[in-house]
Amino acid sequence: MLGSTTECTRSLWRRCEPYADASPAGERYRGHVSEVHLRPSRLSRGAVAAGLLLVGLIVVSGGVVSSAGAAQPAIASYRLEARYDVRVHLDWDTRVVKVRTMLDVLNTSGGPVDKLELNSAAVKLGSMRDLRVRVNGSPVRPRVIGQTIKVPLGESLAAAASVKVELAFRARLRTRSGGRSYYFARLAGVAQLYRFIPWLSRAIRFGTQEHGEPFLTPNSPWVRVSVSADRPLVWATSGRQVARAGRRRATFLATDVRDFVIAASPGYRTVRGRSRDGDTRILAFTQRSDGRRLVELARKELARYERLTGVPYPHATYSIAKSGGGLPMEAPGLTWIPAARSAAEQPFLVSHETAHQWWYAIVGNDQSTDAFADEALADYFARRAHLSIRASRCPRDRLDRDIRGYSSACYFEVIYIQGARFLEGLRRDFGGRAFRRAIRAYTAGNQGGIGSNVRLLEAFRAEMGDGVLKRFHARFPSLY
């Protein structure tokens, strides 16, 4: 993770310090941490002193007590680093998926940690059962809240120390695509497994609304996934295949990814190609004969976004798989395009999802609180190339809300459409050169880490000057 943040302290007062690379003193900018935006407290010095005295006598819930007896804020698990070794077995007829995940977790946070928070969509969508967890070989009892699995470590894990954690569970793929069900489902002859690996994150509500992606995932330097099934399947994944045993078992390896996603089908046909620079192998997985067109579209878009950002695509493979239902989805090294979408839609869809290889995959973000930072960028550049930056069908709204703060009818119209128009206004009024420099600076400066709305906006401000602040305040009032 590039840059640094300080966590909000919650005791007798509320205070939240901004990012270390925040704007100069005197600006109205306020940093954001987690899902809450907090204004600096206005308590008197005496009240603060009294609060400090009492804090020395109490332990903040969820915190870690230092050797001096002072309570320290709990450290979010996305500030740690993990390597994942995963085994997945799929029974096609019963749709039962068995997953065993072994994590080698390194405490890169700089402070002590007493628990891990892991997120998995399989908890909510797959009716996860038979969950078993071990820490350094000893069984522990996790707490499951929504999509979050809270794993107690038993004793505090010091900075730069490591721990081995093993989780095993069973879940069942759904058979419908409504809402987010298509993340974890078998649809029209395709098994779709999205965000199924318990991944370091923070406690995030999965939510009942059908829009937005409630995820935050840090990069992992190494992920190995061994897959097997009760029948021969063709596997499209976020990694490159490194081993195969017959037609029912294979092993894939991915490096520097913030998730690992799978689409598998007995009916997939595979078309192969190369990127224009020859550095990337492109794979198209379809149940029909349109794979060649997808390869050509991917070649064009990979080259375009490398040119726009100045940051090379980082993986040896890029796969596009036709999914059985739901919406188009991005994952590191892999894009799902629903088979039901028309050929006329493919150029825009491939462009939008390939943009996410940079904004979400190379530069991460909290997709619950900072959807603008990836969705608006992806929609803007895809629309400039293939559609129009049209007017929104919903009233003008803020662009800094949590995904749950928008209605299902207007989430897309605000974050995607109004977000794209906001970006186009910056380019038009402050100049294309400054706009391109800001995009390049944001992408390169947050590569491999967690970006955000404010980091993107500050990149624009650095290139365009303080004249942008009036616009930022109007559309991002929690930040400016």
CA distance 30 to 246: 56
Angle at which helix 419-430 crosses helix 453-464, to 10 degrees, equals 10
Burial classification of residue 137, based on how many CB atoms lie within 10 Å of its CB (0-12 exposed, 13-18 middle, 19 or more buried):
exposed
**Strand-pair category, 269-274 with 223-229:** unpaired
Give residue 74's pLDDT band: very low, low, confident or very high (50, 70, 90): confident
Give residue 60's pLDDT band: very low, low, confident or very high (50, 70, 90): very low
Q: What pLDDT digit, counting tens, does each position of 424-478 carry?
A: 999 999 999 999 999 999 999 999 999 999 999 999 999 999 999 999 999 999 9
Q: CA geometry: angle at 341 spanning 339 and 347, to 5°?
A: 110
Give residue 208's pLDDT band: very low, low, confident or very high (50, 70, 90): confident
In a 3-state reduction of DSSP, which class is residue 71? strand
Mean predicted confidence (pLDDT) in 55-70: 37
283 Cβ partners below 8 Å, 6+ apart? 236, 270, 271, 272, 273, 295, 317, 318, 319, 320
Q: Are 64 and 76 in contact, with CB atoms under 8 Å apart?
A: no
Give residue 290's pLDDT band: very low, low, confident or very high (50, 70, 90): confident
Mean predicted confidence (pLDDT) in 37-54: 34
Mean predicted confidence (pLDDT) in 232-250: 95
Mean predicted confidence (pLDDT) in 206-231: 96
CA distance 181 to 69: 46
Q: CA geometry: angle at 215 spanning 311 and 257, to 5°?
A: 40
What pLDDT, on a 0 to 100 scale, did the predictor assign at position 393? 98
pLDDT at 50 over 90: no
Q: What pLDDT digit, counting tens, does each position of 295-314 carry?
A: 999 999 999 999 999 999 99
Q: What pLDDT digit, counting tens, does each position of 309-322 carry?
A: 999 999 999 999 99
Q: Are 368 and 35 in contact, with CB atoms under 8 Å apart?
A: yes
Determine what percent of the chain is predicted with pLDDT higher than 90.
Answer: 82
Token pair of 44 as six digits = 């008197």
CA distance 306 to 309: 5
Q: Are 393 and 478 in contact, with CB atoms under 8 Å apart?
A: no
Better pLDDT: 74 or 24: 74
303 Cβ partners below 8 Å, 6+ apart? 275, 276, 277
For 158-261, list the strands marked E by DSSP. Answer: 162-172, 184-187, 190-193, 199-200, 223-229, 234-237, 240-245, 249-254
Give residue 288's pLDDT band: very low, low, confident or very high (50, 70, 90): confident
Q: CA geometry: angle at 213 spanning 8 and 454, to 5°?
A: 45
pLDDT at 32 over 60: no
List the alpha helices (DSSP H) in 176-243: none
Better pLDDT: 85 or 32: 85
Handedness of CA 166, 172, 175, 178 (dihedral sign): negative
Mean pLDDT of the chain: 87
Q: Are 394 and 387 in contact, with CB atoms under 8 Å apart?
A: no
pLDDT at 1 over 90: no
CA distance 112 to 63: 10
At which residue do the structure tokens 């700089």 appear? 110
